[in-house]
A and B are shown apart, each in its own frame.
Chain A
Amino acid sequence: MPELLVLIPFTAALLCFILKGVLRSLAALLGASLTFSASALLAADVYQNGAIRISLGGWDAPLGIGLSADGLSVIFLLLTAIVGLMVSIYCVPFFSGLHEQPLARHFWSLWMFLWGSLNSLFLVSDVFNAYVVLELVSISAAALAALSGTAASLRAALRYFLTAMAGSMAFLLGVGFIYAQAGTLDMFLVGSSGGDGPLMAMALGLMTVGLIMKSALFPFHFWLPPAHGEAKAPVSAILSALVMKGSFFLLLRIWFNVFQDSSLTVHAASVLGFLGLFAVIWGSYQAIIQSRLKLIIAYSSIGQMGYLFLLFPLVLTTVDAAWKIEAWTACVFQAVSHGLAKASLFLAAGNLIQASGTDNLRSMRNIAGSLPMTTFTLALAGISLMGLPPSGGFVAKWMLLQSILASGQWWLAAAPILGGLLTAGYIFKILSQAFVPGAEGACCKPVCFVMEKAALVLAIFSILIGFRAEEVIFLLTDRICAANPGGFWP
């Protein structure tokens, strides 16, 4: 089952490259829905029967490639599947437009390729393959970012790619240190054989910084706003909602699987917590002062990703297992609800840009009058980002505050409080512009019905996710990888 998750998108990518016109769209949609169903089936399987681990082609480690699916990876796979399916549906009408048509071939094959790489990233079970898959993700993501072909987007993509390459190199050097010390690459075995020597400390530093560079944590966020802001709207949605989550997922694996048994991570965690706190404040502040819609959303991603990094100090300094689970659940909820809400925001922004022909917030007038559904989508996704009840973002921030109070690290509470206020600031900035009446007949080009619906569905999902906390907690506590009986919890 897990291998299908990689196989289907890769095949679809090839087909999309060969086929033309309607057939290409059909192949892409078929690939997307098959991948979606495969993810859902795998999730159901893991939920009922526990974590899965297989070796591709019957070769065992160290030479073979192993795939493992546990509760954490299943959650991220499902997020990818939902966002991926909706983005694919959105893109069929989007890339049948006059300007976008020539790009369709490259977009579909690159996107399917990226989807396959992301799936394998969530399933990977040894650190070296993690590096390879990480590079696949970076290459396809940078190529997608460069898709529109303007000078600004090419520069942004190359800057992103060079940064990502440097991060990958640091990660690979860390892999080398791990192998030198532990003699194995398996994520779930390194922990018990590695110990906590200086080589392992160096490996932790290299891998962590390589990964936080890729997930645009403050102060390494410089590449993100141009890359996400210049790309096509669905591409920005993919980059913000999924690609950033990919490297964050790997960071979770490194910290809590690879280094789980060593005492290395305790002090270093507060560094990540500090950076996360700064990211929340700086990213949200920058989002408020931007005047272009997509840049607001891009900077908001930096802020929202910052919340995720509060997990490290919260989990690693608390003794009580119940609060650890609370922090874990908060983080996973934040990741999922941010992924859904951000994808929905970027897709809705794409609709607005298509309707008004500009990205500048001040020249968009009377959005609410001409695109009521898109305005509603913006409001719903905004509710989830701000963390108002009953959205997924509310559950995340509620649990985060509770575990911050429990861990006694009061300074971290500045993140949800200040971050929530600043988020409300930029969401209202977007929304208040929506109701400014425009000049007569100034707007607007029609927007395809499907495109509005796809964004709305994602926004509704980001609200509804708040209703299902129980299953997520179950997946995180009882369905953690079988190769690692202790799980995340000491």
Chain B
Amino acid sequence: MNSLLIYSITATSLFTIGLMGLAAHPNLIRKIISLNIMAGGVFLFLISLAYHPDDPGVDPVPQAMVLTGIVVTISATAFALCLARRITEITGSSRLEDKPEDTDS
């Protein structure tokens, strides 16, 4: 049936998989990758909006959105990676989950 439904279901599944990854993996790098998977799902959905079956041209707006979105995600990922590296340098652990004595703030 209509392709929009397929794309949106795929996108939502990717988004959910990314979320699950964010929850399940204690490792910081994996968390950041999970976020990128979420972003991938969202971009897939956005780019699929550009295609109209009865219209020969493509809609430029979603493409512009995806391009901008990719730039934003790249810089955010870079920043998150920097933070993660610094945490690993200081604490020697690549996890966010604090040790039990740190949790009571």
Contact = CB atoms under 8 A, between A and B. Distances in A.
A142 B87 contact: no
Nearest to A63: B64
Nearest to A140: B79
Contact of A151 (B61, B69, B91): B91
Contacts of B22: 162, 166
A179 B79 contact: no
Contact of B61 (A132, A170, A185): A185
B61 A162 contact: no
A162 B64 contact: no
A63 B28 CA distance: 36
B65 interface: yes
B96 A180 contact: no
A165 B96 contact: no
Binding site secondary structure of chain A? helix
Binding site secondary structure of chain B? helix
A4 interface: no
Contact of A162 (B15, B31, B60): B31
B94 to A, nearest CB: 11
A180 B79 contact: no
A185 B105 CA distance: 42
B80 A162 contact: yes
Nearest to B68: A132
Contacts of B76: 135, 138-139, 161, 165
Contacts of A225: 105
Contact of B83 (A138, A158, A169): A158
A429 interface: no
Interface string A50-70: 000000000000110000000
Contacts of A62: 61
Contacts of B15: 169-170, 173
A62 B39 CA distance: 22
B83 A157 contact: yes
Nearest to B79: A139
Contacts of B91: 151
A161 B79 contact: yes
Nearest to B38: A169
Interface string B62-96: 10110011001001100110011011001100001
A225 B62 CA distance: 37
Highest count of chain A CB atoms <10 Å: which of B22, B32, B35, B65: B65
Interface string A416-430: 000000000000000
Given A63-B61, A154-B83, A180 B49 contact: yes
Given A154-B86, A158-B84, A166-B22, A172 B42 contact: yes
Nearest to B46: A176
Given A128-B65, A151-B87, A295-B105, A161 B42 contact: no
Interface in A176-203: 176-177, 179-180, 185
Nearest to B78: A139
B8 interface: yes
30 contacts: A63-B64, A131-B72, A139-B75, A139-B79, A146-B86, A152-B102, A154-B86, A155-B96, A155-B98, A158-B28, A158-B83, A158-B84, A158-B96, A159-B96, A162-B32, A165-B76, A166-B22, A169-B15, A169-B38, A172-B42, A173-B11, A173-B15, A173-B41, A173-B42, A179-B49, A180-B49, A185-B61, A225-B105, A229-B105, A292-B105
